[in-house]
Structure 1
């Protein structure tokens, strides 16, 4: 030993060993037999996994142990998956497990997975090929063991929910090497007979090996080929078989399958009661409407009755007669008034009356012309005297009356100047009281 050698503590050495183990073996699969199984109150599982030559300590903690689908026990051959680590308190290495399954079941599981993938790739489990279940089946066939509790549970649920449903038990073995063949044969017979509305394939829970008959490839194909709807209720809720995938409906448990198959009688009774009330209400409404239509039809019939029509026509005729009489009376009054007016006008324009009127008018007018003529003559005389005075005022005679005379030619032309007369001309001199006939002897114009 030298000064440069590194001195480790046991804890440091354990840490190095743990890191080496976990880094080199992060995830390993080990198959062996369980020994020294311990189940403390914490819920963890501690045991040794051994074979004929060696053993290794294992720990499966509570969260992972709750997912086991079998009960671990000493001597059981299992397949575990986990990582290697070091338990530093004792310096022992151990496996901390992520999963554990029955070694025999593990082989079955791998075969199951391969067959599931194959049939799924073929489209055997496609949803579009699934058949719809009848809403109210009348007769169903249950394919299960006649001695198990499954058939009793199914019948109990069916009798409770819908006692009118006919149930036929078709007993088949549900476990063993020949179970799949028996189930296929019975399934084909039940489907071919045409008596059943639904076929229920049921079995209680168990390990993968116990349920292996329902993972038969031929059985899965037979279920898919059935013309009658098939319900598969195999095992518990967490158990899945190929029959579940091939069937038209998968139920988590046989009792749940019975619940799905049978309608609830109480709910149906409640619904029927409601429908009965609704039907009664609708019938009452239809009856009321029919009665109303009958009443209206009766009223129309009464109106259309011949006697009623005759009565209505008689009343109409009477009304029209009254209206006609009233109209005739009004027309007569109007015509009488018109006639009286025309008669008055005619009398007013009668020739005799016109003659009498004109005679009286003539008598009245006989004296009027003389009076008018006298009045007019008087007016004209006054007017004439006025005109005479006016004319006299401007008349040459007025000048003559003052001592002057008017000289005229024989033809009446006036002599205004000496030059208007020639020597020897005969002229007339108009004086105030007469005329003088004169001859021009000499003309001396003023210079």
Structure 2
């Protein structure tokens, strides 16, 4: 006991519980990738958070599982206790309790999971062979004459297809090819029916259809024998299997995929009312074109008849005589018009000649001389009159502004005798100074006795 040696403190590596769980979680997550685990659901819990928790068990062991809300939103079924499932997720550790657990992102029921893997394997195989390529798709006829429907004769799908076809375009004939659409022998029977319909050539469009169901119910349409039969068809085919969310291998190989049987029927034929409307437009256009063509032919026939009438000898002779009479009349009128023009020209020349004699010119010049003399006399008298009026007006204006006119009204002009300037201000003249006063008639000499300003004069007044 005394010889027991304890390790030094610095050699110890002590973990807390939290750090131990964290290290263990990281070690587990780093050494395990995404894994698949098969087992039975038990102890399922659905808290209000939307997450799911359960135990996945087999005969010997169990493991806790967690599936968070973001992942379980995409579940195709509702998990329940006792279900056998195939789960995909990551191995982890719940640190708070140190519990080993799986964090799942996808689960599927065991039977469906096997079928799903077979589906994906066949899909990859056929895609690699080019069976889904767009260039292998055949165009659908615009208006098929007869449509072959390959389905169960007692199912709801055939009734839906026929109802839609009758509603949209009842004139299209429908031929039913009965076949099983579910069961072990359904795939082989579907393939044989497809080959039969294509070989007979009775239809120019085929519809392969059935109603909805589970993956197992629709599995006949995921078999390779059906895919090969669809790819070998010469006749265009529409696949309308299940509901809108259901996809089968037949949908990928068919020329056109419809979401439902009714959708396949709608894709197969156009709407009758639209075609009738278009046909009505074509009929109206054809009627107008025929009427125009008929009118053109009628005009052509009328023209030919007129040309035939004009080419008759009697008509040509009559027209020749009429043209001869017309030419004679035109010749006579032309000579009369020319003779009239010559006479008119001669009369003009005679008038010019008569007007050009010296006696007539002399008389004209005398007349112009007398007229010019009278015009000159009138112009002189008128000019003198205008000048006299202007002189009188100027004299009146001068008289109006003349200082003499102001003096006539009793005013006078006072001039200083000392310098001869006009006196306008009494303050500039001293008493005793001599001034000259000019009146309207004569002048006065005076001596200033007293000088008063304007203000003094007003005060005095």
One of 232, 237, 246 as aligned partner of 2:244: 237
Aligned with 1:61 (options 42, 64, 68): 68
**Correspondence 1:46 to 2:47:** no
For the residues of structure 2 that align with 1:43 and 1:301, how far apart are their CA atoms?
100
Of 198, 215, 233, the match for 2:205: 198
Q: Which moved more, 1:273-282 or 1:163-172?
A: 273-282
Deviation at 1:186, TM superposition (A): 2.0
Deviations along 1:274-303, whole A, 9 cap, x unmatched?
A: 333333444454455455555655655565
The offset of 1:200, in angstroms, is 1.3
Report the secondary structure of 1:174's partner residue. Answer: coil
Distance of aligned partners of 1:239 and 1:11 in 2 relative to their CA distance in 1, 3 Å threshold: same
Greater Rg by CA: 1
Q: Could you tell me which residue of structure 1 aligns to residue 231 of structure 2? A: 224
Residues in 1 aligned to 2:176 and 2:227: alpha-carbon distance in whole angstroms: 21
Q: 1:313 to 1:60 in 2, by over 3 A?
A: farther
| Residues 88 and 145 (structure 1), Cα distance of their counterparts in 2 relative to 1, 3 Å cut | farther
Q: 1:256 aligns with which of 251, 263, 280?
A: 263
Is 1:131 aligned with 2:138? yes
Instruction: Give the one of 181, 205, 214 matched to 2:221.
Output: 214
Correspondence for 2:32 among 11, 25, 38: 25
SS at match of 2:319: helix
User: Relative to 1, partners in 2 of residues 1:40 and 1:300: Cα closer, same or farther, differing over 3 Å?
Assistant: farther
Structure 1 position 269, deviation (Å): 2.2
Checking the alignment, whether the CA contact within 8 Å between 1:70 and 1:207 is kept in structure 2 is no
Query: Partner of 2:123 in structure 1?
Result: 116
> 1:90 Cα deviation (Å)?
4.4
Equivalent position to 1:145, from 135, 139, 152: 152
Post-superposition offset of 1:264: 1.0
Range moving further from structure 2, 235-244 or 20-29: 235-244
Shift of 1:41: 5.8
Return the match for 1:171 from 164, 169, 178.
178
Describe the shift of the 1:163–1:119 C-alpha distance in structure 2 as closer, same or farther (beyond 3 A): same
User: CA separation of 1:270/1:327 partners in 2, compared to 1, >3 Å: closer, same or farther?
Assistant: closer
TM-score for the superposition, normalised by structure 1? 0.64
Q: Deviations over 1:360-415 (max 9, x none)?
A: xxxxxxxxxxxxxxxxxxxxxxxxxxxxxxxxxxxxxxxxxxxxxxxxxxxxxxxx
Determine which of 75, 99, 109 is the counterpart of 2:82. Answer: 75
Number of the residue aligned with 1:105: 112
Task: Quote the Cα distance in structure 1 between the aligned partners of 2:68 and 2:162.
Answer: 41
Shift of 1:118: 3.2
* Rounded Cα–Cα distance in structure 1 between residues aligned with 2:60 and 2:248: 37
CA drift of 1:179 comes to 0.8
Return the alpha-carbon distance in structure 2 between the equivalents of residues 69 and 16 of structure 1. Answer: 36
Q: Size of the alignment, in residue pairs?
A: 333
State the Cα distance separating 1:149 from its structure 2 match: 2.2
Give the structure 2 partner of residue 268 of structure 1: 275
Q: 1:321 and 1:93 mapped to 2: Cα distance? A: 133
Report deviation, 1:328.
9.9
Distance in 1, Cα, partners of 2:314 & 2:74 = 96
Structure 1 residue matching 2:244: 3-state secondary structure: coil
Residue number in structure 1 paired with 2:195 = 188
How far apart are residue 140 of structure 1 and its match?
1.6
Counterpart CA distance in 2 for 1:294 and 1:62 is: 87
Question: Hey, what does 2:163 align to over in structure 1?
Answer: 156
Shift of residue 199 of structure 1? 1.8
Q: CA deviation at 1:105?
A: 2.8
Measured in 2, the distance between the counterparts of 1:169 and 1:80 equals 43
1:178 CA displacement = 0.9
Q: Cα deviations across residues 234-285 of structure 1 (Å, max 9, x unaligned)?
A: 2333433332233222223222211110211122122223333333444454
Distance apart, 1:188 and its partner CA: 2.3
Please list, as runs of the form range in 1=range in 2, the aligned pairs for 1:285-300 lying within 5 A after superposition: 285-287=292-294, 289-290=296-297, 293=300, 300=307
Could you tell me which residue of structure 2 aligns to residue 316 of structure 1?
A: 323
Which residue of structure 2 aligns with residue 361 of structure 1?
A: none
- The structural deviation recorded for 1:7 is 6.1
Give 3-state SS (helix, strand or coil) of 2:71's partner: helix
RMSD across aligned C-alpha pairs, in angstroms? 3.5
TM norm structure 2: 0.62
Deviates more, 1:137-146 or 1:6-15: 6-15
Residue 356 of structure 1 is matched in structure 2 by none
Partner of 1:84: 91
